[in-house]
Amino acid sequence: MSFGGQTPTIIVLKEGTDSSQGKGQIISNINACIAVQATIRSTLGPYGGDLLLVDSNGRQTITNDGATVMKLLDIVHPAARILTDIARSQDAEVGDGTTSVVVLAGEILKEIKDHVEQGVSSQTIVKGLRRASAMAVNKVKEIAVNTSDSNKRETLGKLAGTAMSSKLIKRNTSFFTKMVVDAVLSLDQDDLNEKLIGIKKIPGGSLTDSLFVNGVAFKKTFSYAGFEQQPKSFKNPKIVCLNVELELKSEKDNAEVRVEQVSEYQAIVDAEWQIIYNKMEAIYKTGAKVVLSKLPIGDLATQYFADRDIFCAGRVSSDDLERVIQATGGSIQSTCSDIRPEHLGTCGFFEERQIGGERFNFFEDCPAAKTCTLVLRGGAEQFIAEVERSLHDAIMIVKRAIKNNTIVAGGGACEMEVSAYLHRYADKNVPHKQQAIIKSFAKALEVIPRQLCDNAGFDATDILNKLRVEHRKGNVWAGVDFVHEGIADNLEAFVWEPALVKINAIQAATEASCLILSVDETIKNEESAQPQAPQRGLPPGAAQRVLRGRGRGMPRR
C-alpha cells in the first residue's frame, strides 16, 4: 500500500525500547548537564566547600577535586557523562581546573538553552560556539605574560600556591609549595615523568610532619627470621636490584623424580641447596650492602645476608624498585651469575627508621636522583588522601609551567577580559544569529568570577559590575580580591595560573557543549529477559534496525 506514491518507512525496535528525539531531546540533555553542574559548582575557588561522597560499599571520600567528584558521582544520564570525560581529560592534560571546566560547560549550555527553545538550529549554535571558542583561545594567548626571564623557582612557587589556594592544605601553602617545586625539579627535566614522584601516606602526626625525601622511601616489606639481625643503616652502600627469587621452593604439582637409592635423593636435595648458595655467594662477592628484589627472599637467604652484615628486602613493588634504580643509578638484574660493578647503584645514606606506626626504608642523597618521595602525615586517612589529590594538582601545574612559560592572572580576571573582548567583537563584527551565540558564550565565561564570589559569601552582582567597569577601562588583570572582598590586580597579587589551564578548559567545555547539542535522538535498548518474536511478519534479525540520520547519535550500553 502506498501513500502519495511513497512507501512509508517502518522502524521496528525491540519491545520496551525508549526512543526520544528533536528539540525536546536536546533540552533534556542540557537540563541533565546543568543538574551535574549545580552539584559541583559549590566546590570552586578558595572558599569552595568539599563534597562528602559515599559509595555503595559505604566507603567515604571527602574532596573538592573536580575530576575525583565526577569519577565518583554515579551519573546515569548518557549525555551528562560527557562532563565526566572532559573533567578527566583536563586532569590528564593539565592537572588543575577540573571543576572550572565542568562549571563552564554547564554554563555555556544554560546560556544557549534559550536559543534552542526559540528554534535556532543546533548547527548554527555549534558554529557560533566554535567561533567564539577559537577567538577566546587566541585572546588568552595574546594577553598571557611570558615568565621565561624571571626567577624560575619563584614563579613555579607562585603557580603551585595558586593551585593549592582552593584546596584543603591552603593554610600550609608555603610549606607544601617548596616541597612540590623541589619534587618536580628533582625529575629528569626532559621527560618530567610525575609517576617518579612517590607519595607515601602515614596516618598520625600533623601536616607539617610531612617529609620531602631526595631519593626513595618505601614501607618495610614482608621479612623472614634473621631480618632483625641485619644492620639497618649504611653510608655510601652499594645497592643491587634483582628480579630473582632467593627461596627454596617445593616442586610444582605432579613433579616426579624417580630414584633407586637414598644417596641419589640426597644428591638432588644438595643440588637444590647448592644452586641457591651459588646465587647468594655471587651477590656477596659484588660487595653490595643492600639487596632488593621484586621476588621473595626467603629465611635461608635472609639469615645468610644477616651473617655477612648485608641488608635485604624481598617483594619490593615494581614502582618502588623502578624509582630506586632511577635514584641510585643501578640496573635491575635477572640473574646472579654476571653482576658487574656498573650494574650496582649507590646512595649517600641508607636507613630503616620508624615513622608513625610504620617502618620505612630510606635511600637519601642519591647521586643520580631523578626521583623523589613525599611522605605525607595527617590525622585521618581521608584527610591524607585529599592532601595527595591536592599535591597532584600542584605537581601537574608546576610540570606544565616548566614546559610552557606563559601565565595569566586567576581569580576570574582572565575570564572577564575574554568576556569583555567577545562582547565588543560581537557588537561590531558579527552579523545575524551568530552574534547572539557569541554573546551568550561571553556571558557564560562570567560564571567563574560569579561563582567564586558566591562561594566566598561576597555580593556577586556588585563585584561583577565593578569588574566590567575595570575591564572596559583596559585593566586587563582585574579580578576578585578574596582578602579585602573587592577587586584587585591579580597579576600583581601573584594569583597566577598557567595559560594552558584556561586554554584547555575553554576548548574542552566548548567541545562538550557542541557534542551534547549535536545529539538530537537517543535510542535506548533495554535488555529483555526473553528473546522477542519477530514482529509484523518480518524475518528474524530485522527487529533491531536503527535509522541513523545526520547529526544523530545513539549512546550504546
- Sites in the chain below the pLDDT cut of 50: 1-3, 528-557
pLDDT of residue 421: 92
What distance in Å separates the CA atoms of residue 194 and residue 206, rounded to the nearest whole number?
25
Task: For residue 159, count other CB atoms closer than 10 A to its CB.
Answer: 28
d(CA 327, CA 361): 14
Question: In three state form, how does the secondary structure of 98-148 look?
Answer: HHHHHHHHHHHHHHHHHHHHCCCCHHHHHHHHHHHHHHHHHHHHHHCEECC
Does residue 198 contact residue 274 with C-beta atoms inside 8 Å? no
Alpha helices in 144-261 (DSSP H): 152-164, 173-185
Of 68, 67, 109, 107, the C-alpha closest to 87 is 67
The candidate with the shortest Cα–Cα distance to 129, out of 117, 113, 141, 149, is 113
Largest interatomic CA distance in the chain: 103
pLDDT tens per residue, range 430-457: 777 788 899 999 999 999 999 999 998 9
Give the pLDDT confidence score for residue 196 in this predicted structure.
84
pLDDT tens profile 238-294: 999 988 888 876 665 566 778 778 877 888 888 888 888 888 888 888 888 899 998
Q: Which domains does the chain have, with CATH numbers?
A: 6-18+520-557 (no CATH), 23-146+409-518 (1.10.560.10), 152-209+376-404 (3.30.260.10), 216-368 (3.50.7.10)
254: left (phi over 0), alpha (psi -120 to 50) or beta: left
The angle, 0 to 180 degrees and rounded to 10, between the axes of the packed helices 499-518 and 413-429 is 50
Q: What are phi and psi of 407, to 5 degrees?
A: -130, 160
Grid coordinates 640473574 are at which residue? 335
Q: What's residue 98's pLDDT?
A: 87
